[in-house]
Amino acid sequence: MDNANDLRKLAYPDLVAFVSRAVRKGFEGFLRLADEDFTPDLREATEAYLLRGGKCLRPTLLMLSALATGERQVERLSTAMMAVECYHTATLVHDDIIDHDELRRGQPTVHTLVARRIASRYPRLDAAKVTDYGMATAIVAGDILFGDSAQLFSLLTSHYPCKVVNSILAFQSTELHPGLLLGEQLDMELEMMALQDVTPRMVEKMMRLKTGLLLGFAARVGAALGSRKPIDKCPLAETLGKAAEAAGIAFQIQDDILGLFGDEAQLGKPIGSDLREGKPTLLMVKAWEKATAAERKRLKKILGNPKLAQEDVAFARSLVEHTGALAACQNRATRLVKEAEKAFQSISDDLVRNHLIAWLNSLVKREK
């Protein structure tokens, strides 16, 4: 990696582009090591998202958190950046199965991709068997990616104290992994509940666990590595970790807003997907609180209807606007962003601080 001072002076978009290139290049080398042990289907399933590239929000935050400690040996961070992106990718592969999503960023999801390949290879196979095979392979691929993440973190002992690396692995296994899985389970259970029984607090807890926890982990890892201190002995890791968790909730709120009001071409998935899946987003929960009896009756029919019509999406948009749910969610996201920004403002390095705030803005001021 480049000199830390050079990286600090980059414009934020150029910094993200650098991180994205570094992570992708690292994965290309790492994945080649496992090629001979994988079947073609499993290789494709594990590599698909990693090689497509993404926003690299977590690797970028990890690096910035390390730079905030005064770390200047940034070339050593590439393995950690790959590890956190690998973990994130594993969650995406499994999440797409749970949500039955066929597209991610405008391209086929892993289970869909594998199913199409097997259907093309064996055209006489039963459609249900093809679907099951795609999902099963994707589950295995996600599990492998979780293991790859831990393996990558363990390699950090080449450059960092064992006690620091052990604290990262311990946090991953005892805090991050069970917390994130609980968030996924809560997400599914909330869909089973009647909308009137779901509270904003329940939704925010799910968002913190499912989205915020991993962002917080990336910040904690960066600060721990940069300071050469175990996570639980590094005050900056806690400060940045909590800030990133708050940012994660704001990110999810914005994601839900875009899911209803965004541009389908930019999002890479259909508008109204959350409505079709019956997800009680913060938008829907707050709209329900202020809706009339007639509006609630129609909303009940819409939420979870896979054959949602365009006028139903239009109704949902109008409802969240005139009930004030949209404004309430936007205001909540703004408060969370300010909470995170306050923590980032404590960083003494002007360039790193500005990059952290730019990272924060990239979460909530986005169109996709």
- Indicate which CATH number applies to the domain containing 139: 1.10.600.10
**Which of 66, 267, 299, 340 minimizes the C-alpha distance to 194?**
299
**Which of 35, 32, 15 minimizes the C-alpha distance to 77?**
15
Mean predicted confidence (pLDDT) in 181-210: 96
Predicted local distance difference test score (pLDDT) of residue 234:
98
Predicted local distance difference test score (pLDDT) of residue 367:
64
Predicted local distance difference test score (pLDDT) of residue 286:
97
Predicted local distance difference test score (pLDDT) of residue 348:
94
Predicted local distance difference test score (pLDDT) of residue 223:
98
Q: Angle, to 10 degrees, between the axis of helix 293-302 and the axis of helix 310-322?
A: 140
- Measure CA 16 to chain center: 16
Amino acid of residue 52? R
Q: How far apart are CA 77 and CA 66, in angstroms?
A: 8
Amino acid of residue 34? A
Q: How confident is the model at residue 36 (pLDDT cuts 50, 70, 90)?
A: low
Q: How far apart are CA 364 and CA 343, in angstroms?
A: 17
Mean predicted confidence (pLDDT) in 347-361: 96
Q: Average per-residue pLDDT in the chain?
A: 93
pLDDT in tens, 288-332: 999 999 999 999 999 999 999 999 999 999 999 999 999 999 999
Q: How far apart are CA 352 and CA 64, in angstroms?
A: 6
Q: Does the pLDDT at position 188 exceed 50?
A: yes
Q: How confident is the model at residue 117 (pLDDT cuts 50, 70, 90)?
A: very high
| Counted domains in the chain | 1
Q: Does the pLDDT at position 231 exceed 50?
A: yes
Determine contact, residues 144/130, Cβ cutoff 8 Å: no
Mean predicted confidence (pLDDT) in 235-263: 95
Predicted local distance difference test score (pLDDT) of residue 368:
61
- Domain coverage including residue 334: 4-364
- Measure CA 186 to chain center: 16
0.75 surpassed by pTM? yes
pLDDT in tens, 123-145: 999 999 999 999 999 999 999 99
- Which has the minimum average pLDDT: 46-50, 264-268, 303-307? 264-268
Predicted local distance difference test score (pLDDT) of residue 1:
47
Helix (H) or strand (E) holding 368: none
Determine contact, residues 90/82, Cβ cutoff 8 Å: no
Mean predicted confidence (pLDDT) in 169-188: 97
Predicted local distance difference test score (pLDDT) of residue 347:
96
Mean predicted confidence (pLDDT) in 203-222: 98
Predicted local distance difference test score (pLDDT) of residue 270:
78
Q: How confident is the model at residue 186 (pLDDT cuts 50, 70, 90)?
A: very high
Q: How confident is the model at residue 34 (pLDDT cuts 50, 70, 90)?
A: low
Mean predicted confidence (pLDDT) in 36-62: 90
Predicted local distance difference test score (pLDDT) of residue 288:
97
- Which has the minimum average pLDDT: 50-64, 207-221, 257-271? 257-271
Predicted local distance difference test score (pLDDT) of residue 48:
93
- Measure CA 22 to chain center: 19
